[in-house]
Structure 1
Amino acid sequence: MRAIRGAIQVGGDTREEILEGSAELVTAVLERNGLTADDIISILFTATPDLTAEFPAYAARLLGLTDVPLMCATEIAVPGAMPRTLRLLAHVDTPRARAELRHVYLRGAAALRTDLPQ
């Protein structure tokens, strides 16, 4: 079992922005790591306190992850933190070594992890 991190900054607190950003993030994590829905054990999503229009996990359900345990939570409201940010922590079943995994930071959230290859 391994864990993969990811984040994306969305344009605003609308249902459409949250669903689109969440779907883009989940899809990128799966594609960049050669994973399928069957490889996912669970996903924890967080959203910054300024994103409340929709649950990020609903986007994963719309992508077909209907039997994967998903949970949403609010990110800690740290002063000066990046706004409008969705994050995920995916637990996956993979034979890959930790060093082979690709964490995914998209759009403005790429600034959170400048040490990772995009």
Structure 2
Amino acid sequence: MRGIRGAITVKENTEEAIGKATRKLLRAMMSENNITTGDIVSVMFTLTSDLNAAFPAACARKMQGWSYIPMLCAQEVDVPGSMSGCIRVLMHANIDVAQRDVKHVYLDDAVKLRPDLKD
């Protein structure tokens, strides 16, 4: 089992925007790591304090095959000066790759969180 990290920024605090960003990020994480929903053990979401219009887990459950995956949402630590409008994800998946070969996915402005992962 490996942990796969990801993050994405959301431009507005609406259920639609949070849902769209959540689904985009999860699909990218699955694609980059060549996994299916059957490989996913659990998913933890955090959101910055300015995003409260929807639960990313509830948005994910609307995707095909996601209704039985254990998921949890929490508020990100509100560090002064940190990035706002951000959804972060820690996905646990049964994949047989070395830890260094896991592909963590940072989209939109969230790429700034992990410049060390740029190609």
TM superposition score normalised by structure 1: 0.97
Question: Residues of 2 paired with 1:61 and 1:74: CA distance?
Answer: 19
Q: Which runs of 5+ in 2 are unaligned?
A: none
SS in 2 for 1:115: helix
CA distance in 2, matches of 1:18, 1:81: 19
**1:117 deviation in Å?**
3.0
Give the unaligned 5+ runs of structure 1: none
| % identity of equivalent residues | 42
Alignment correspondent of 1:2: 2
Question: Aligned AA for 1:24?
Answer: K
Mapped partners of 1:76, 1:107: distance in 2: 21
- Runs of 4+ more than 2 Å apart: none
Alpha-carbon RMSD across the aligned residues, in angstroms, is 0.8
**Equivalent in the alignment of 2:118:** 117
With normalisation by structure 2, the TM-score equals 0.96
Alignment coverage as a number of residue pairs: 118
Structure 1 CA distance for aligned equivalents of residues 32 and 118 of structure 2: 11
> Which secondary structure does the structure 1 equivalent of 2:18 belong to?
helix
